[in-house]
Structures are given as C-alpha cells and as structure tokens.
Amino acid sequence: MATGSLKKMASIDAQLRLIAPAKVSEDDKLVEYDALLLDRFLDILQDLHGEEVREFVQECYEVAADYDGNRNTEKLEELGNKLTSLDPGDSIVVTKSFSNMLSLANLAEEVQIAYRRRIKKLKKGDFADEASATTESDIEETLKRLLQLNKTPEEVFDALKNQTVDLVLTAHPTQSVRRSLLQKFGRIRDCLTQLYAKDITPDDKQELDEALQREIQAAFRTDEIRRTPPTPQDEMRAGMSYFHETIWKGVPKFLRRVDTALKNIGINERVPYNAPLIQFSSWMGGDRDGNPRVTPEVTRDVCLLARMMAANLYFSQIEDLMFEMSMWRCNEELRVRAEAQRCAKRDAKHYIEFWKQIPSNEPYRAILGDVRDKLYNTRERARQLLSSGVSDVPEDAVFTSVDQFLEPLELCYRSLCDCGDRPIADGSLLDFLRQVSTFGLALVKLDIRQESDRHTDVLDAITQHLGIGSYKEWSEDKRQDWLLSELSGKRPLFGPDLPKTEEIADVLDTFKVISELPYDSFGAYIISMATAPSDVLAVELLQRECGITQPLRVVPLFEKLADLENAPASVARLFSIEWYRNRINGKQEVMIGYSDSGKDAGRLSAAWQLYKTQEELVKVAKEFGVKLTMFHGRGGTVGRGGGPTHLAILSQPPDTIHGQLRVTVQGEVIEQSFGEEHLCFRTLQRFTAATLEHGMHPPVSPKPEWRVLMDEMAVIATEEYRSVVFKEPRFVEYFRLATPELEYGRMNIGSRPSKRKPSGGIESLRAIPWIFAWTQTRFHLPVWLGFGSAFKRVIEKDAKNLNMLKEMYNQWPFFRVTIDLVEMVFAKGDPGIAALYDRLLVSEELQPFGEQLRVNYQETRRLLLQVAGHKDILEGDPYLRQRLQLRDPYITTLNVCQAYTLKQIRDPSFHVKVRPHLSKDYMESSKPAAELVKLNPRSEYAPGLEDTVILTMKGIAAGMQNTG
C-alpha cells in the first residue's frame, strides 16, 4: 500500500478516534474495524471519483459529527447547504457513499459481536442489546439454570423433546437491501474476520486485504435500488435461499449441540430425530391479504418450487452418505431388502458415483441407492410439474410421504445399532434423518392467509345463487346455523354454473390449488380481520366444498385493539359449537397481530392488551379442554412488536407458551437471524432455550395493583394516541408533509401495495410504511406516543405511583421489556432532525403542531428515564451506546440530504446554487458520473432527485437496523 494512503488512513483513523467513543472493554475492536473499512472505502471512492469527492464526503462527515456532539442546529443548515449545492451525478455518488459507509459500519459491528462471543463466554448481564448476554439463551446455560431451580435432568429432557418452535418466514416488504448486496456484505464480513485471525501470514493478509477491497468496490458499483418491484415468486426464492445457505446444515448442527448440552447434565440419550424441536413455515406466496399479486397460480408455483428445492438438497447429500455407509455387517431385515433391491438394479450412467450395480458386501449402499433413485425422480417430477403442469414420472417412482422417505433410513439406523455400530449411526445418518424430520418433502409448510370479507363475499354469491337470501345481511346466529347444517350434510353446495366475479374465482381457485397439491405442502389457513365464529366455519365449509380431503387447520387472526378485546369471547363461542370441537381434536391455534394493534392504539396499550388477551384465551381453552398454540405476528421494529427474541418470549404471560411457540420472522429480520451460519445457530438456540425456560420456569404474574395501574395507563395512552393520530384533523396532512411516506412506494421493496385501500387515510395505510416513515425522520412517533401522558397522569394523581412503576420495572419482565425497548428507540431518535424536516417541508400553519409533538417527545423521554431509574439513555448498555454514536454522523448526513431533496422534489420554487461538478469518473467520459443519473430515465422529477431520496431511505434504514 502506498505511503500516501497510509497517511490518509491515519487521518481518517484519527478523526474516527476523536469522534468515536472510547473502548468499552479490552476486547473492543469496533472502532478499529470501522476505521479499516472506512479507509478502504474512501480509497476506492478517490480512485473511482477523484480526491475532491473524497474530501467532500469527509467534510460532510465532520460537520455531521459536530452536530451529533453538541446538537447545534446551525450545523444541519451548513450540511444542507453543502449537500444541495451538488449536481445530480455528484449527489447520487455522495449519498451512495454514505449509504455504503453505514452498511460497512454495520458489518464492523457484526464482526465485533461475533469476536467478543468467540473469545469469551459472555457473562450474564454483560450488555443488553439484541446481540448480548441478557438477551442470549445459551442452551447449556439454560439447562443448568433449570437444574438449579430443582428440575431433574429427566424432566428437562422430557420437556425439551416434546416442545416445538415453528418459525414462519414472511415476505413482509421490510428487507430494503438487495440480495446481490447481501451476498457481497457476507464476503466483506468474512474477509474482515479472517484479517484479524491470530495465525495469519503476511501473504494471507495481503490477499485478504485485496479481496476486502474488491468486495467493497463491487458493492459500491452495484445499483442499490430495485428498479422493479419483486414478484411473490422472487420473494419466495429470496426467502428459500436462506435454507440453501444456512438453515439446511444449521439445523442438524444445532441439534448436535443440544445433544452435547444434555450429555453435560447427565442425560446419555440424544434428542430423538423425529422430535419436532424446530419447524419452518412460510407465508411467501401464500399471504394474499391485501396483495392482489399472490394468485392461485403463484401459490402452486411456490409449493412446487419448494418441493423441487427440498428434493435437490437431499439429492446433493445422498451420495456422500452412500460413501460413508460402506459397512458390510447388517441385520437380517436389511440384508434381505438389500439383496432384492441390488438384483433389480441396472447400470445408471446419469449418476456420478455408484452408477454400476452395487456389490453384495455393501448392503447399506444398496438401500440408499434406492433412496437416491426416488429422490432423483421426486425432483424431476416437481421440475416437470412446475415448468409444464404435467409430468411423465409415475407417482410410484417418487416419494409421496415423509414416512415413505424415512422408512429405509430408519432401517439403516436400526441395523447399525443392532450390529453394535451406534456411533456410526449417530453420524451423518442421524443428521440426514433429522433433516428429513424437520424439512419433510416440502422444505417449508406454506400458510395461506386471506381476509374474512373475501370468504363472506363467496358465501353471499352462493346463497344468492341458491335463492335463499344474502349471507352478508344475515345475523351471526343465522350464518352459524346455515353453515353448520351444510357442514353436517353431504350435498354439494354449488356447481360450475355459480356466477363468479374475479375476486370470488380467486378465492375458490386458491382452495382448488390446495386440494390438488400434496397435503404436507401446507400449514395453516389464517383468516385476517376475523371477529366471529362464522368466519372460521366459513373456511371449513369452503375447504370441504372444494374437495380438500385433509383440511388445513383454520386459524383466526385478531389484530385491532377491539378485536383483541373481543377475542376470548369469540373463541369461547367457537369452542361451544359441538361440531367444531369434534373437528379440532382438542387443538386450536390463534394468531395475534402486533403491528396493526400498535398502529390502532399505540405501543403501550397494544402491548398490555396482547398480554391480557393471551391470558384470557388460555383460560377459555382450559375450560373447554383444548390445547392452545399462540401464533405471534411480530414485526422487526419495536413499533410492530419486534425486539430481542429471548426477552420477548420470557416476558409473555405464564402458561401461554407451554412448549408450543409459533412466531413470524419478517423481512429484514430473516437476514439478521439466518444470514450466516453463526446467526442461524444463535437464532435456533435463542428460540429453543427461551421456550423451554418459559415453560419450565414461567415469569411472575403481575400483582393485582400492577394490573389496575396498567389498565388505567392503557386507557390514558390510547386516548392520547388516538386524539393525535385519528382525531386531530391536521394530523394526516402533517404526517404526509413531515415524513417521506408518499415516496416510500418508490423503493420497490415488496410485492404488495403499501395501502389496503388506495384512497384511505391512516387507517388504510399498512403498519409497515406507517412505522417506516417515522423511523426515517428519527422521530419514532408510533412507539412512544401515549407513554408520556400515561406516566404523567398516574404520577400526578398519586406520587406513590412512581414507586410502584419502579417496582414494576424491576420485578415484572413484561413491563421491563416494554420500557427497555422504548428506551432503545429513544436512543436512536433525534427531535432535532425531525425539526429540520418540519422547517423545510411542513406548511407554516402546521409548524406549531410539530413543535408540540416534540415537546411531548422530550417529556416522555424524561418520564421514561425516571421510571427506569436511569440518569441517561442506555446508561446500562455502553456497547449499544458506542455503536449508535459511531453510526450517528452517517445517518445525520443522510437525514439532512433526504430532507433537502424532498424539499427540492415538493417545492418547485426552492432554488439551489449548484457548484461545479466534483466527480472525476474513472473512464473520464465527457459527462462524469452522469451515467448514474441515466439509471432512472423515466423519473417524473428533476434528474437525480428520485434516486438520491431512495438511497437516503435505504441508508437510514440500514443505520436504524430496521425499516418497518
């Protein structure tokens, strides 16, 4: 490396070290990692676009850091004037640079977290962010902790092998980073980790440094913006790529660690391979709620694609397994089967290994050879059905059920054990058995989700066609009576002559697709906006009418505050129907939605209502002798029910999990949970350990006086939240002006529209863009609004309530988690930035309204700290504070750039003086950097503005580490 570049590195390094917080501990390398990545990036920027651009970026960084240090708003104006003076090409280059630098800062954080985890087993309470010890669930530590609580090893083992965690991957449009970039980021992470390895040679170091620079440059040269919206099939392929890359091998690896942890507490048995510890489901291509692009054909494609991928993954491993199974000793049962199969085989030239007849002294290979043939055919059949709708592969040549697939593998396992070869059986064969038990033939089970109104429309068309009236206009009792009489009868309800609108045909065709595909491709049928028993019975009837021989379990989803309040009564009415009780065989799943309840009533009231609803639902289920599984629809952000997994599970009410947990993993959280092998391992460990701990050592129930206080605060919080968001006539206009909500749709990050109804106000806006818009301006209004007035009123009413709130914070996990998550959001917030958006974008008559909200923000922050007993935000978490301080100057620059660019887009009279062009493009074309502007030739705005705004949105989302 040239000495000049070393000097530059020293200067950047020095700047960073001046601005960055000090080391938090001896093993803290975060600033070092960040400085290295930043230096490499700035060198690349200089090589590609010239020294002036590099200097400009550094100047912006310094001004932003200056603002972050002392909150002097003049610095924001100085920064804004600098950024608006750029011509379109330069503007894109600079914005792209800051967005990239933020992504690199995130990678430095990830490597630092992994490094600290490697060099020492974290002490409990070491630090308290998502990646930390208090939110961590090491499986071995959890087992030992349970023994200290007087559980026997046998009780722990019994609970563990009978529990199930079902992780449901959803394509919610919050993953704003393209897959092409995610892969490059993964390679940057690997290079950085290896560069700091102890046994690295100078040559290795040089090659790794070159590879690091290559990947940073490749990421910078990749267009960050999706130019077209992804289709549901694209979303599904993106989701499935995690199976291929980490989950497939991650599951058996994790289960081995569980075996080891059990051994260390004195259990000399392994977790049975068919114990359903971890299951995977998906909504990608099945969730049609408000997404017209998810058609019956999409659902069919997605199922067949997943089946093809599963067969392919098994097929890619079967020959390795055949290589390992070279043993000749076997039991009689296997010998007879192997001989019969060996003699029936011909040479198969399309295989790479074992293509000739297998000799008689290799019986296991003969059995596995037959498994390989069937896997080959299973994959071919799925591929042909997917591409042309028909297949010439006969059904008896393929695996049609998991039991059929497991049987020969179990035979091999039994035979090895019978011959004294259990250690061999417990190797790759056990891993393979565990994969078959976890993923089956379908890879993931697809849930179907549809709005209740769509089913009502179908039944209304049927009753009108039959001439018996309008189902829509019937009372709930009349609907139930009719549905039950039809369910008890045998006659078909309608024929092909039923008049159908496009929407009705779509619903019926979806049921038809379910009836045509194998049963194991599907999970649950979820009804959103479900309010009454007839909503569930309607789906049961439609499943029967459309010829679904093994009907899917029907799951009502309760989302809005009023629906959550009424859910226990609604489920009790459902359970009191004898036909339905006989149908469900003592098991029911209910889904509760975190996003819409938060948008409807604010975070505090939604969290408390979700808590109470779960308690009530469990009581109802016990009364009727039904085992209830709660399905938690959590988002990634705090406003949508997100937050550290371990804490979220352990703060659920006692008795509500009971070894059965189903939870959504949404959008960008999929990458954070499964993007790498070690992340996948940690995710599986967190969910398994926390579920076990919650079941065997439930959290405390709240004291009656805590409940009374929470009820009182929830009423106040809902009232304040709704008085601002729904009743204040100026609010919608203020929201549209003060945030980039109107521009959100241009990011093309999801296949579904951002609104349920194109014309509606806040209530029709989906929860994701609602949270996204407030996260962008660093104001996070939906998270904190309501908390301040609730605290203030109860403390003013009786000063003793402050002590009670402190007691609740210290003794009640649910309350503590709720407060801690809001505190984390305050750490990421900045009312000064929100004020800048107001000053530039909001009309004069609405400015006092924004000012009032910011006063409310500061008051809420003060009260929250008082309740938590903290002097300053995040005082108990120096690591997260340090990481946020490092990110701040990048995010601040992007915020200022976004606010000023929105001003240029929305206000034609806003004129800026453009400075001479800075960027020297590498190819020295006549219009340097102008190529970037050409990437979006059809924009309705002035050149470069739309791309600049989208790049700021993506950058800020990366900086906040969540979008919606």
Q: 78 with 937: CB under 8 angstroms?
A: no
At residue 474, φ and ψ (nearest 5 deg) are: -70, 155
Residues 710, 714, 719: CA angle, nearest 5 degrees: 155
Residue 172 annotated to the active site: yes
HEC per residue, 599-640: HHHCHHHHHHHHHHHHHHHHHHHHHCCCEEEEEEECCCCHHH
DSSP state of 740: S
Number of residues that make up the chain: 964
**CA Rg, the chain, in Å?**
29
Q: 492 with 466: CB under 8 angstroms?
A: no
List the structure tokens of 249: 């091998």
450 Cβ neighbours under 8 A, 6+ residues apart: 288, 289, 507, 510, 525, 526, 527, 528
Which residues does residue 590 pair with via DSSP β-bridges, in sequence order? 630
Give the Cα separation of 806 and 699 in Å (integer): 18
- The type of residue at 145 is R
Of 455, 560, 599, 694, catalytic = 599
469 Cβ neighbours under 8 A, 6+ residues apart: 463
- The type of residue at 400 is T
Q: How many CB atoms lie within 10 A of CB 477?
A: 9
* Alpha carbon 29 to chain centroid, angstroms: 28
Q: Where are the alpha helices (DSSP H) in 517-594?
A: 533-545, 561-575, 578-584
Nearest to 863 by CA among 713, 697, 654: 713
List the structure tokens of 309: 């991928």
Dihedral sign for Cα atoms in the order 562, 565, 569, 575? positive
- The type of residue at 406 is L
DSSP state of 754: S
DSSP helix, strand, coil percent of the chain (3-state; round to 5): 65, 5, 30
Q: How many CB atoms lie within 10 A of CB 775?
A: 28
At residue 359, φ and ψ (nearest 5 deg) are: -65, 160
Give the Cα separation of 217 and 211 in Å (integer): 10
Residue 599 annotated to the active site: yes
Of 172, 374, 560, 632, catalytic = 172
Give the Cα separation of 335 and 338 in Å (integer): 5
Give the Cα separation of 18 and 39 in Å (integer): 15
Q: How many CB atoms lie within 10 A of CB 94?
A: 26
Give the Cα separation of 309 and 312 in Å (integer): 5
Nearest to 905 by CA among 948, 851, 865: 948
Name the residues annotated as catalytic.
Answer: 172, 599
